[in-house]
């Protein structure tokens, strides 16, 4: 049994001001895997006060001091990487190969990237008579979700640290373990007291206390659209900056010259990674109408190849995070059937042979873009395939969404593929694959307003001062 009953405040592990706990459930077994303390506004006050006290010194620390700290964290992180991955698997159900691989690896990647960016980042530049100085914004409240728990924590904590900010992290209640280990890593690496603080608990309590706090200068939030809107409203009275990284319903456009079976298989398998709980997942697959049947056959066969089960076994997909998430996904699958979408693979209920755990069948529908399952973020292993007539139609369908987080284009002719990518109203487009820790990540439209990753992630946490004359 794991225990997350203390908070990390002012360089120490402390008991909550008001004792209150909740069980943490292992989504693979539905058994209790540990206990979390649910913090209160008093714990947030203590954490914010510690961050405020630490701000003056840390904001004036040298780049060398910050690099030394990030490298010290890197050494401890590398040593505890397996433990971090195991924690991710236990808290949110990702297969161990994913937990210890890409999930924990993303954290290591963001840490290395923060170091690389900090080594050459220009905090000052002279432009004519003006010295433009980039200064840390202050005390930051960092609020994160459970789906790629280490990714979302590290993509905030390390740039905030590198730019001289101090912070209070509020990890997801459903997935508290990896953040707890990260706090231990920060402590062992010698992070000065008060620079990094962590309070666990409910979003409606801890998150709201941070968003409304007079002494918090900025909130960086990753999570759902409704909560992002609520935080923006809560933060308005104290005029703090709010960085939002919200949901998506990203289109994957397969162009006519692309190898159809191969690309559909890649898109289908990609949708099932992390049981479909990825904000930038290509959850709408757009294929030329004349090749729809070919695409459906390829998707069906790709789904058959997705093994689902115990995340400690050699499987492609574990359970989804919680009973509530399982029920939401089941509702969407039923909605798809009710509104007449064609079920290509999967469907309602658990995969055969699995009677416990929040397991979902890898599911594919064919439908039109006006279907609810094509418009709303399902956040589960459910792909919709939509036929298009020509490139203009494909672009129109892709952009016909309130979201604008990611996009994918597959095609042999690179110029055509890039031209389509330029027309997508989204914060990122991956053309024929690719991955880059330095590529800015964030959304257009209802997918948010922030840009994380790489150098752009630093700008989130900086104020700009002009010294003229």
CA dist., res. 77 & res. 102, Å (int): 14
4 belongs to the catalytic site: no
140 belongs to the catalytic site: no
- Two structure tokens written together for 170: 């509020």
Q: Among candidates 190, 196, 210, which has minimal Cα distance to 165?
A: 196
- Two structure tokens written together for 143: 């609020």
Does residue 188 sit in helix, strand or coil? helix
The CA-atom distances, in angstroms, between 145 and each of 4, 40, 179, 257 are 17, 19, 11, 38
Q: Could you tell me if residue 298 is left (phi over 0), alpha (psi between -120 and 50 degrees) or otherwise beta?
A: alpha
- Specify whether the CB–CB gap between 465 and 422 falls below 8 A: no
The CA-atom distances, in angstroms, between 342 and each of 267, 382, 425, 431 are 18, 13, 28, 28
Q: Could you tell me if residue 346 is left (phi over 0), alpha (psi between -120 and 50 degrees) or otherwise beta?
A: left
Q: Which residues have C-beta within 8 Å of that of residue 190, sequence separation ≥ 6?
A: 69, 72
- Two structure tokens written together for 124: 């000052």
The CA-atom distances, in angstroms, between 1 and each of 26, 89, 323 are 11, 14, 20
- Two structure tokens written together for 364: 């594919």
User: Considering 245, 377, 452, 460, which one is annotated as catalytic?
Assistant: 245
The CA-atom distances, in angstroms, between 400 and each of 14, 16, 395 are 49, 46, 8
User: C-beta of 247: minimal distance to ligand NAD in Å?
Assistant: 3
CA dist., res. 228 & res. 139, Å (int): 19
User: Considering 140, 279, 303, 367, which one is annotated as catalytic?
Assistant: 279
User: C-beta of 355: minimal distance to ligand NAD in Å?
Assistant: 26
Residues found near ligand NAD in the complex (CB under 6 A): 143-148, 152, 170, 172-173, 203-204, 207-208, 211, 222-224, 227, 230-231, 245-248, 279, 377, 379, 405, 443, 447-448
CA dist., res. 78 & res. 74, Å (int): 6
Q: How far is CA 401 from the centre of its chain?
A: 20
Q: Which residues pair with 407 in a beta bridge?
A: 251
Q: Which residues pair with 366 in a beta bridge?
A: 342, 385
Q: What are the residue numbers of the active site?
A: 245, 279
């Amino acid at each position: 049994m794991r225990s997350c009953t203390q908070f990390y405040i002012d360089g120490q592990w402390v008991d909550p001001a008001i004792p209150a706990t909740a069980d943490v459930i292992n989504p693979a077994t539905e058994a209790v895997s540990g206990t979390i303390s649910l913090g209160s506004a008093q714990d947030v006050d203590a954490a914010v006060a510690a961050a405020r006290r630490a701000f003056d010194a840390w904001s004036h620390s040298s780049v060398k001091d910050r690099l030394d700290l990030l490298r010290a964290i890197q050494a401890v992180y590398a040593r505890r990487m397996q433990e971090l991955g195991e924690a991710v698997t236990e808290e949110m159900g990702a297969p161990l190969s994913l937990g210890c691989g890409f999930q924990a690896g993303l954290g290591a990647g963001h840490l290395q990237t923060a170091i690389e960016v900090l080594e050459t980042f220009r905090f000052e530049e002279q432009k004519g008579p003006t010295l433009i100085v980039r200064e840390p914004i202050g005390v930051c409240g960092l609020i994160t979700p459970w789906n790629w728990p280490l990714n979302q924590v590290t993509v905030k904590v390390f740039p905030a640290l590198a730019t001289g900010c101090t912070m209070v992290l509020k990890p997801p209640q459903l997935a508290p373990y990896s953040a707890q280990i990260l706090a231990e890593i920060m402590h062992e690496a010698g992070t000065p007291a008060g620079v990094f603080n962590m309070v666990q608990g409910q979003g409606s309590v801890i998150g709201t206390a941070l968003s409304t706090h007079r002494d918090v200068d900025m909130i960086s939030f990753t999570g759902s659209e409704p909560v992002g809107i609520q935080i923006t409203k809560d933060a308005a009275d104290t005029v703090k900056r709010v960085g939002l990284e919200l949901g998506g319903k990203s289109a994957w456009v397969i162009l006519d010259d692309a190898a159809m079976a191969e690309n559909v298989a890649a898109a289908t398998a990609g949708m099932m990674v992390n049981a479909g709980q990825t904000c930038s997942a290509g959850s709408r697959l757009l294929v030329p109408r004349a090749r729809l049947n070919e695409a459906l056959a390829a998707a069906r066969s790709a789904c058959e190849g997705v093994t689902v089960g115990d995340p400690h076994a050699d499987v492609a997909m574990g359970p989804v995070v919680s009973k509530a998430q399982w029920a939401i996904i089941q509702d969407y699958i039923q909605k798809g059937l009710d509104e007449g979408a064609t079920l290509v693979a999967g469907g309602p209920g658990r995969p055969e042979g699995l009677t416990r755990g929040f397991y979902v069948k890898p599911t594919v529908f064919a439908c039109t873009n006006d279907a609810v399952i094509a418009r709303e973020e399902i956040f589960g292993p459910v792909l919709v395939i939509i036929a298009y007539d020509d490139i203009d139609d494909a672009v129109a369908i892709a952009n016909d969404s309130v979201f604008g987080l990611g996009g994918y284009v597959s095609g042999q002719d690179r110029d055509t593929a890039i031209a389509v990518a330029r027309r997508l109203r989204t914060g990122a487009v991956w053309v024929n694959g690719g991955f880059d820790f330095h590529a800015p990540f964030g959304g257009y439209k209802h997918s948010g307003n922030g840009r994380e990753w790489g150098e752009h992630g630093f700008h989130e946490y900086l104020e700009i001062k002009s010294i003229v004359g």
